[in-house]
Amino acid sequence: PAPASAPPPGVQFNSSNSTTFALVSCGTGACRALPDASCPDSKCRYLYSYGDGSQTSGLLSTETFTFADAPGARGDGTTRVANVNFGCSTNFVGAIVGDGLVGLGGGDLSLVNQLGADTSLGRRFSYCLVPYSINASSALNFGARAAVTEPGAATTPLIPSRVKTYYTIELASVEVGNATYKAPRQTPA
């Protein structure tokens, strides 16, 4: 069966309330970086598909994003990043339910790459996921806030992949019950 349309999101961005919102025109590098863009009216329109069959379409836009600084940072406690490209969705079909999606992969338009290119936040991010059964938000942090120091938390560095969108991790071992199995060492090609 075809995927059902998602219910309306709980929070919607109202671009008319912003003085820094802008639509992206077709001739820009950001529009050309999209895998499936069209320009019927000189504004960059996108169609993006996900692995589960979900699809979103809308207008490529820019906005100033504001991030909370790490505790103890100088200034007003925030880092503002102007002209961040993002998709202002006008249609979504699929099973994902939420107020929006964020790209953390290695692609040219991912939020991580946009922040890392021009800001003190760098390409550093972390997210700590609460169990699905708990009705609470998970933490997504950038820059200095991305340090994971909570007791019992596990971290691993991400290794860039040959495919820009994906990351890989180095698997050292796997524990099953009381047995530990070490991963075979691979020799560089």
Whether 96 contacts 50, CB under 8 Å: yes
CA angle 107, 9, 166 (to 5 degrees): 20
pLDDT of residue 102: 81
pLDDT tens by residue, 93-144: 887 766 677 888 878 888 888 888 767 788 888 887 788 888 888 888 888 8
b (16+ CB within 10 A) / e for 94-105? beeeeeeeebbb
CA angle 139, 145, 151 (to 5 degrees): 70
Tokens of 99: 């107020």
pLDDT tens by residue, 54-107: 888 999 999 999 988 877 667 678 888 899 999 988 888 887 766 677 888 878
Task: State how far the Cα of 129 lies from the Cα of 91, in Å rounded to an integer.
Answer: 27
pLDDT tens by residue, 9-63: 567 888 999 999 999 999 899 999 888 899 988 999 999 888 888 888 999 999 9
Judged against a pLDDT cut of 70, whether residue 187 lies above it is answered with no
pLDDT of residue 4: 47
Task: Say what the pTM is.
Answer: 0.75
Task: State how far the Cα of 129 lies from the Cα of 124, in Å rounded to an integer.
Answer: 17
